[in-house]
Amino acid sequence: SASMDSGDELRAKFLEFPYVSGAQRNLMLELVSSVETRLGPSLQPCTLPPDIQHFGNPTGTASASLHLRPGLPSSQIDFTLGGWIHCKLPSGGALNITSLSAYLKPSTDAPHFLIELIRSSPTSLVLILDLTPRKDLIFYQDYLKTYYEDTQLDRHRQRLHMLPEVRAYSSPSLYIRAVVSPTAILVCIDIESGEETKMEEIIRDHVSPIAIEVLQFWIESCAGLERHVGEPEIAYLAERDRIIKNKTIEVDLGSSFPRMFGQEVADRVLGALKEYYNK
């Protein structure tokens, strides 16, 4: 429709984070708001075509919003990508995913930011929260020390694991397991059926404070600090990032999107993102 072509309305659609619980929506809005408040002046408006910013499947059982904002040429930020996906399941339930990632340019080697919340049933939530390393942590021991050891990033993961409802989550994708940092939070939160308020409490009282603190650290110490990276390293970072960006959407969307949205919509969305990543 004509109204859906307006950037403001598409942005409002993205910020609805519909279908998810109040606590999950509040968390996503707070994260997006932190990024926009602190980094907004360095970001362009969303540049995706309207039919990539919001779309659904032909039968109306699946819908999604994507919001990609490129950094200004003068900024260290490559782009931020937020989104939500809703898909009714044949079982009667629904799959709901909300995510926010922020990539930096190869002019800095500081980690990228990533959060993803995957709710596949009322009783189960998968949380992925990480500052994704830009370099091989074995070859570059100082990088491991600077961003992950000296910062004591692991304390957030340890704190969350003290909850009895939290257990380690192993992604089925070996690529995802390999790309995240050793302090990555990859957990599954399971509650008893009928205790949905418990999940709300866990998201509000435990997941949210940690996610907000990690994002604050990323904004101040990763996006906000200038690093002096030499020419050969810029080329290395650019190539490694190219692999990360392409592989992440392949793994994240490539396998599930055709099933959820049909091949035509899936090809259009993945094609638009890949075109942007590789231009």
Binding site for a copy of itself (CB under 8 A): 135-139, 141, 144, 148-149, 154, 157, 161, 167-168, 170, 174-175, 177-179, 181-183, 239-240, 243-244, 247
* Closer by beta carbon to a copy of itself, 39 or else 128: 128
* Closer by beta carbon to a copy of itself, 2 or else 178: 178
Q: At closest approach, how far in Å is the CB of 255 from a copy of itself?
A: 14
* Closer by beta carbon to a copy of itself, 154 or else 233: 154
* Closer by beta carbon to a copy of itself, 92 or else 230: 230
Q: At closest approach, how far in Å is the CB of 25 from a copy of itself?
A: 30
Give the residue among 84, 213, 186 at the shortest CA–CA distance from 126: 186
Q: At closest approach, how far in Å is the CB of 263 from a copy of itself?
A: 24
Q: At closest approach, how far in Å is the CB of 59 from a copy of itself?
A: 34
Structure tokens at 94: 């629904």
Rounded Cα distance between 67 and 31, Å, is: 14
Strands, E, within the chain: which ranges?
54-56, 62-70, 77-88, 94-104, 112-121, 124-132, 166-168, 185-190
- DSSP string across 207-261: IHHHHHHHHHHIIIIIISS-----HHHHHHHHHHHHHHHHHHHIIIIITTHHHHH
* Closer by beta carbon to a copy of itself, 177 or else 227: 177
Q: At closest approach, how far in Å is the CB of 138 from a copy of itself?
A: 6
Rounded Cα distance between 153 and 211, Å, is: 12
